[in-house]
Structure 1
């Protein structure tokens, strides 16, 4: 049995860390293609310009169209080739990161990831999640290497909307439970090996840190206060969850998230918000310990993560619609097969209904 753990070459986190971007990118490339949203560009442009001033480095900004699709990857690839850049930098959230990583893979150049939010565990992984232009999950693009640098400026992240950090906690919440399921089934992780002890330990630390610091971090980010608890949760959402999911493995929660992309009304929610409900559904599917399930439900309710279908915006809960979700979640190219027991669309549909019922009961609805 071969075990594999994967991680970015370098992970840097701290207040005002972006002011030192030149030191970290200069060994990799001199002409940066920076992929960002309009708001992301506005948040980082001055800091990047000050850091690159007086050096041989220059930056070309390209605005992201909003979806990590095959079409967008090809568009950015063409921009890279036309501008003569030699380094891709993804500034923003998860879909920008995944697009930047995919472009760098296709043009054979280094990639630097600069999260402006801690809303997903995408920054550290050698993986891009590909969606259709309309936002429906299509496939995972597994990449041969992790990002060269992940640079997290916690001052910038702490000034992002609180909902984004909380969504990141929803994504991170799945890490331990999916890694645990993969360990029980001896499943292969996202990098083609069995989980190492280190990966399983990081996944557990991810969950423990969420329970220890998640509520305090959610309160702090609402006040834009970069406390120690918030720093810990930024690292949890970004690094512990990123290395933990990739090297620990994916199972039910993310597959169920992918299934929910079949319902257009869920597209308004963030990835981690849907993953949180996917985690609850996985635990119901497993018939998890009552105390554990109560702990997860209470954590989600306290920080503001969805625990019911209504929280996901799903008001039409007819069984044929939920079965569409379950069938997509059980697709052969997804990860529900990593659960340590046979799973069918019918059992997933039942677990979705059960998770919703538990969430409503816990909320007194």
Structure 2
């Protein structure tokens, strides 16, 4: 099988970069649809308008309806066509990105993704997750290309809730360990091939950055400032993790996250928070050396990621419920099959229970 790496065409990161969005837009098209939330427009709408006014590109704002659904995509597709837009820009969070990517795909325009948070590694990917209008998962829409531009204005992101960036660290934590598992099993990545050395290097750099800069970044964000550590963590959460997961592959951590979604008790937790616990369970499955497991658990505790079922809101679930989690995680077609050894619902159940016990041990609860 061929080795394949995919990535956004351009990645831009820095304080105040949103002020340059009009310049980048003018180089790509004559008229842009800017998809944003009402709250987002109140915060930075004038900055965007001023940037476009200084450059030779018109813009049409439209407020996001809240779900990346087929109806919302079709509604915005009509806006693009009725206004003659030749560029689609999504500004905000994950569902806005996914909607903008899908609209651009069907309309045949370029797409820019401008996150105002750093909570997941989705901005760089060639994928949209489609839901019903009521918010129920419907399907994955795999796209033929990654975004033309991903812009991270670190000044804006640093003002977002600290918990969101920490959740992004949890999502990024899985990248190296899942990539390592996929490399060992020669699994097919989301890019459609085997991993490259470049993708593995980025995944490893992602992990090293989290370990070195994560605690410093959290403390700085809590102080309300953007420091070099914050800049490095935003890059790790977004670019390094984004290319790493897509071009190296997913394995146990994300499958166990998917299993945890069957528990209503966990629905209030962010994606990256559940992925972090899934990473601990994957490491238990792999029976990694004690020192490695301890390092990851202690780092999670220090940055504020959950290491127990109790911290996920699932402290009172029964063994029967956890077995349902394990069965869902082991479902045919999910990424547990990318582990380099046979995994069963029983072994996943044991790994979840043990990960929870280790977490309680290091928290001093036992």
Distance 2:264 2:103 in 1: 27
- 1:166 alignment partner in structure 2: 166
Deviation at 1:285, TM superposition (A): 1.5
Cross-structure match for 1:358: 358
C-alpha deviations, 1:296-316, integer Å up to 9, x for none?
101110000111111111133
* 2:33 match: 33
Contact 2:199 2:248 in 1 (8 A): yes
Task: String of CA shifts for 1:64-112, please: whole Å, max 9, x gaps.
Answer: 3334344443443344344442222111122221222122222222110
Contact 2:22/2:54 (8 A) holds in 1: no
How far off is 1:139 after superposition?
4.1
Q: Name 1:264's counterpart in structure 2.
A: 264
Question: Cα gap change, 1:346/1:238 in structure 2, threshold over 3 Å: closer, same or farther?
Answer: same
Q: Does 1:348 align with 2:348?
A: yes
CA distance in 2, matches of 1:338, 1:117: 30
Q: In 1, Cα distance between the equivalents of 2:278 and 2:153?
A: 29
Unmatched runs of 5 consecutive residues or more in structure 1: none
Shift of 1:278: 1.1
Q: 1:288 to 1:75 in 2, by over 3 A?
A: farther
Contact 1:179 1:249 in 2 (8 A): yes
Distance in 1, Cα, partners of 2:107 & 2:50: 28
Q: Partner of 2:60 in structure 1?
A: 60
1:185-204 paired onto structure 2 within 5 Å: 185-204=185-204
Q: Within 2, Cα distance between the matches of 1:252 and 1:137?
A: 21
Shift of residue 136 of structure 1?
Answer: 5.3
Q: Please list the CA deviations of residues 318-338 of structure 1 after superposition, one character each: whole Å capped at 9, or x if unmatched.
A: 123222222222222321111
Change (3 A) 1:105 1:326: farther
Which shows bigger deviation, 121-130 or 36-45? 36-45
Aligned-pair CA distance for 1:253 = 1.0
| Aligned partners of 1:136 and 1:262 also within 8 Å | no
Does 2:313 correspond to 1:329? Answer: no
Which residue in the other structure is 2:238 paired with? 238
Question: 1:187 Cα deviation (Å)?
Answer: 0.5
Distance 1:25 1:313 in 2: 43
2:226 is matched with 226
Name 1:50's counterpart in structure 2.
50
What secondary structure does 2:267 align onto? helix
Shift in Å, 1:271: 1.2
Instruction: Please provide the CA RMSD for this pair.
Output: 1.8
- What is the match of residue 183 of structure 2? 183
Aligned residue-pair number: 365
Contact 2:23–2:55 (8 Å) recurs in 1: no
What is the match of residue 320 of structure 1?
320
* 2:89 is the counterpart of 1:85: no
Give 1:290 deviation, angstroms. Answer: 1.2
Match of 2:6 in 1: 6
SS at match of 1:165: helix
- State the TM-score, normalized to the length of structure 2: 0.94
Instruction: Call closer, same or farther: CA 1:324–1:105 in 2, change over 3 Å.
Output: farther
The residue matched to 1:26 in structure 2 has which SS? helix
TM superposition shift of 1:25: 1.6
Assess if the C-alpha contact under 8 Å between 1:101 and 1:147 holds in 2.
Answer: yes
Taking structure 1 as the reference length, the TM-score comes to 0.94
Q: Find the aligned partners of 2:10 and 2:203 in 1 and give their Cα distance.
A: 19
**Structure 1 contact 137–258 (Cα < 8 Å) conserved:** no
Question: C-alpha displacement at 1:349, in angstroms?
Answer: 2.0
Q: 1:121 aligned to 2:121?
A: yes
Give the conservation status (yes or no) of the 8 Å contact 1:115–1:152. yes
**Counterparts of 2:140 and 2:75 in 1: how far apart (Å)?**
19
- Quote the Cα distance in structure 1 between the aligned partners of 2:307 and 2:136: 22
Q: Give, in whole Å, the separation in 2 of the partners of 1:129 and 1:325.
A: 21
